[in-house]
Amino acid sequence: MFDYRKLFDLTGKKALVVGAGSGIGEAAALGLAAHGAHVLCADLNLEGGQKVTEAIKSSGGSAEAIAFDMRDGEAAKKIVGDLTDLDVLVSTPAINVRKELLNISEEEFDRVISLNLKGTFRLITAAGRNMKARGKGSIITFASIRAHTVEPGQGVYAATKAGVLQMCRALAAELGPYGVRVNAIGPGVVETPLTLPITSNKDWYNAYAAKSALQRWAQPHEMAGAVVYLASDAGSFVTGTLTLVDGGWTAVDGRFTPPL
């Protein structure tokens, strides 16, 4: 008989969390470790990764910090490619340039695309090759509600998040026969270092809070449940999906004009 008590048990699993030094990545790393995974806390800011690693260890978990720059294509592919025993990949980093499309320069366009889309491509394909060879694994990327919805000033960012989702769907179809699952998570508005320019603006903060059904922003730890679910046996028949963790944002029909 199946042991339902072990649905979320990650004991013995190795997980790489890219962007683990703060925000959603930090929450993902802490959540995976709390359920038994050995977590590689990878971040451009090694000090941040080390801080999270120490927090995990102080709680009785297992972790190590890795310096990781998604912008360095060859290094990123090698680090992930060398992890032949990787069970779980979580990719969280992204950047945004908030401008109307007519005002976006090609340099800004390339910068956002290079990290959000190409960087994610590097990670999921490098991990995917190893997981395909092993016949198991779970790849989890962070897309956004912007994969489905958009607002003025979010065109390039939204395009990358829609692209991340479609890459995940394609990879899920390609790797499904080999026992590898690929999924995306779509947060709404979350209080992280990335959203600090918005959260520090009271009018903008309140406008975003009012947009969702729950009438508030999310905290990073509220993303960890979806990560653990998709990484564990609880999500063993889930692949090719976008799991929305948006407080009902996409369920509510409302419009507002954000400041640009």
What is the H or E stretch that residue 174 is in? Answer: helix 155-175
Alpha carbons 42 and 71: distance in angstroms, whole number? 13
Sign of CA dihedral 183, 187, 192, 194: positive
Per annotation, catalytic residue among 157, 178, 208, 229: 157
Instruction: Look up 157 and say whether it is catalytic.
Output: yes
Query: Two tokens at 119?
Result: 């960087």
Contact 88/231 with Cβ under 8 angstroms?
A: yes
Nearest to 257 by CA among 154, 187, 162, 159: 154
Residues pairing with 62 in the sheet: 38
How many other C-beta atoms can be found within 10 angstroms of the C-beta atom of residue 236? 12
- 3-class DSSP state for residue 213? coil
Query: Two tokens at 111?
Result: 């910068």
How many other C-beta atoms can be found within 10 angstroms of the C-beta atom of residue 208? 20
Alpha carbons 227 and 210: distance in angstroms, whole number? 26
Q: One-letter amino acid identity for 2?
A: F
Residues near 120 by Cβ (< 8 Å), separated by ≥ 6?
Answer: 91, 141, 164, 167
Q: One-letter amino acid identity for 259?
A: P
Catalytic residues: 157
